[in-house]
Structure 1
Amino acid sequence: MTHKIAILGASGYTGAELVRLIATHPSMEIVALSGDRKAGMAMAEVFPHLRHLDLPNLVKIEEIDFSGVDLAFCALPHATSQSVISQLPTTLKIVDLSADFRLRDPAAYEKWYGKPHSALEMQKEAVYGLTEFYREEIKQARLVAGTGCNAATGQYALSPLVEAGVIDLDEILIDLKAAVSGAGRSLKENLLHAELSEGYHAYAAGGTHRHLGEFDQEFSKLAGRPVQVQFTPHLIPANRGILATVYVRGDAAVVHQTLANKYEGETFIEVLPMGQLPSTKHIRGSNFVHIGVITDRIEGRVIVVAALDNLTKGSSGQALQNANLMLGEPEETGLMLAPVFP
């Protein structure tokens, strides 16, 4: 069976990544691509690296006939998804890559995104898209809310430890380095090559980053009590990749074994042998996550390091993984591309 797919917001990085991945999927066909500012253009004009593919031209969303579409990926800006998705057919399966449906509590959404949620009924049916933790719910879902890429990285490193209670929940520090594609494709002065290259800097420090809402929500749910982490992201002069260095109190051997047990059998998550640490170079362009654990020189402290590609496992690859589950396809389909190295 071939599933008819639409990608809304296909002129952005996550939209292009979805096209790249779906191109190798044996049972998905892209039948519609939207791009508001690029409407009327061929995808090859917007992304020349995709010129070998036979793709529909970009159109405005209102020009798409959704009656022949099985699933839509919404790679639209935050706040835009709420209004767009509310107007789509109720029979259509949707994977949203924005932040619009990630937070279950409307008050939390308003706190972190600065405006009231405008699609509360749809919010109630949305399933959080961290695949390895919500697999069964995703299989039955109509609307899946993709995670933030930073939030996914931190959760892969920490969620099994929080759930098992093997670390001090009041002393968790996440120091994260993120590549520039996570900021999107829109022109921004601070992302110009001359502004960004040859250095890196912290941003949204001191508890202001929006992905903290996801950490608060998911870690508190797992622990059965409020959990707040310290989190400082840094922007690095690289195109792809996230590396999260997480500092916790606990026993390193127990931490490593807990992670290994949780992810045993997971296709896309690799817990490295004790003492080995991952690199973004080793997961680039892939849907894989590498996690390493080492003992700190200070007794009782442990360092966990997680690496993933923000555009693939952190966003579009995760979205395709979830779509496979929603459509009854093998979860790994279209996602077994090896990392690109060097």
Structure 2
Amino acid sequence: MTRVAVFGAGSWGTAFAKVLVDAGNDVTVWARRPELAARINDEHRNEDYLPGVRLPAGLVATTDPAQAFDAAELVAFAVPSQTLRPNLVEWSPMAPPDATYLSLMKGVELGTAKRMSEVIGEITGAPTERIAVVSGPNLALEIAQEQPTATVVACVDEARATAVQKLCSTPYFRPYTNIDVVGCELGGAVKNVIALACGIGQGMGFGDNTVASIITRGLAETARLGECLGADPLTFAGLAGLGDLVATCNSPLSRNRTFGERLGRGESLEEAQEHTHGQVAEGVKSCRSVLELARRHEVEVPITQAVEAVCFGSLTPRDMVDLLMSRSMKSES
């Protein structure tokens, strides 16, 4: 039985912790709030994030990071991407020296434009061979309800990716392996921004043609950026690219899509944020960091740029549509 620590008891952290327990591991999840840890331990529920889901009795929650780290062979992080660095600065001295680190986060850090695995490596000093990521269509509630899904475990060390794959494989959760960490992380980060754009379109009353167009062109700009950063273009046709993009852009469970809908209906950023009940729409912050990453590499990302302008600039949703539709004509390829 492998000892695993999961840092973050939100929807995805708790759902993945459940997957790990169901796969036969000894799992402790770190929660920020004592009352949430108590409910997981005593009631085996996390109604704040996974309503109606019964958690395994073997899942242990704690607010003590040292207790979570104790003897852990695999350490997974599922905190909001923009809080990873300060948390790791506090936590990393307690970490077991040879643990595998696993990023469940889908974002790019503001200010540095670093992917989450890069932040983990920088703060912990762990080599890239010891850092893996999970990406794919990972709608937490559906996974916690044991609806069949597939995902990707990526690591530059293929043997380590395979080891993590075995640790999180269950009858309802099927992981595949990949060595393209850059592509898998980038697909997971940019899709949140594209989902905001889809939500904006739906909030304005547009239909499936609009959404399909945004998804397809969003995938194109993700692949452009990814290829410039050294990613395998085929990754974006897989679960961590197209799979995650389709799920996030279409599902009402997607915080990014529903947040975008509110913007499309005319709500301000602050008004839309009030309805998220403390859950972060990662694309709102990632749109700025993804745009910064693209600008550093001189890659055109018009949808990301338009979403950033709606969230933080003076662009209205109507302006966004007009801007994207009036771009110069060009070949698709």
TM-score range, shorter chain: 0.3 to 0.5
When the two structures are superposed, what TM-score results if normalisation uses the length of structure 1? 0.42
Higher relative helix content: 2
Higher relative strand content: 1
When the two structures are superposed, what TM-score results if normalisation uses the length of structure 2? 0.43
